[in-house]
Structure 1
Amino acid sequence: MILEAAMLQVKQGKEKEYEEAFHTASKIISSMKGYISHELQRCMEVEGKYLLLVKWEKLEDHTIGFRQSIEYQEWKKQLHHFYDPFPVVEHFETINLSCE
């Protein structure tokens, strides 16, 4: 399992509109092959700041399967105009640490 993490900064005054658009766009990402789950968190200290976490079965499900799809073009159309600056997206994998 891969965790995609993106810190999102939404343009001032657009937060409510963004949250509504994200709710609609969520149907796009959740229909993709390899998608497991996602959540959007709103920062309590910084207005307009969000954390997006998406779980994928494997890295390529996001970087190729989603990012190179027609569905991604619609995702971009619905959401990317809200961001300033454009977010950095990073991927993480679980480290299995044993306490034996």
Structure 2
Amino acid sequence: MIFEIAHIQIKSGTHAGFEAAVTQAVPLFKGAQGCESMRLERSIEHGDAYRLVVGWNTLEDHTVHFRGSEAFQAWRALVGDFFAAPPQVEHMQTVVTGF
């Protein structure tokens, strides 16, 4: 499994709307090929900063299948207006688990 980590900076004062839009988008991820998990985290120190963490079976499930889908277009339509800057996305894989 790989994890997509999207570093998202939103416009100030739009937290409730952004979080509601992400909640509305959960079914888009649930229905996506190879999507195993999805969560949104908000920074305590920097309130306009979020991390979207999505677990995918393969890199291609995210980069090819999801990004090329209508679900991705719907996702961006729901959340895109909240972005203060384009999200920075990286893909990670677990190499050590402590417990």
TMscore range, shorter length: over 0.9
Deviant stretches of 4+, over 6 Å = none
Write the distance in 2 (CA, Å) between the matches of 1:29 and 1:11: 23
Write the distance in 2 (CA, Å) between the matches of 1:96 and 1:48: 30
Q: Which residue of 1 aligns with 2:76?
A: 76
Segments of 5+ residues of structure 1 without an aligned counterpart are none
Identity among equivalent pairs (%):
36
Q: CA deviation at 1:33?
A: 0.8
Segments of 5+ residues of structure 2 without an aligned counterpart are none
**TM-score after normalising by structure 2:** 0.92
Residue 77 of structure 1 aligns with an amino acid whose one-letter code is A
Aligned residues: 97
**TM-score after normalising by structure 1:** 0.91
Q: Which residue of 2 aligns with 1:45?
A: 45
Q: CA deviation at 1:18?
A: 0.4
The CA RMSD measured in Å over matched residues stands at 1.3
Write the distance in 2 (CA, Å) between the matches of 1:29 and 1:38: 7
Higher-Rg structure is 1
For the residue of structure 1 that corresponds to 2:63, the secondary structure is helix
Q: Which residue of 2 aligns with 1:65?
A: 65
Q: CA deviation at 1:30?
A: 1.4
Q: Which residue of 2 aligns with 1:94?
A: 94
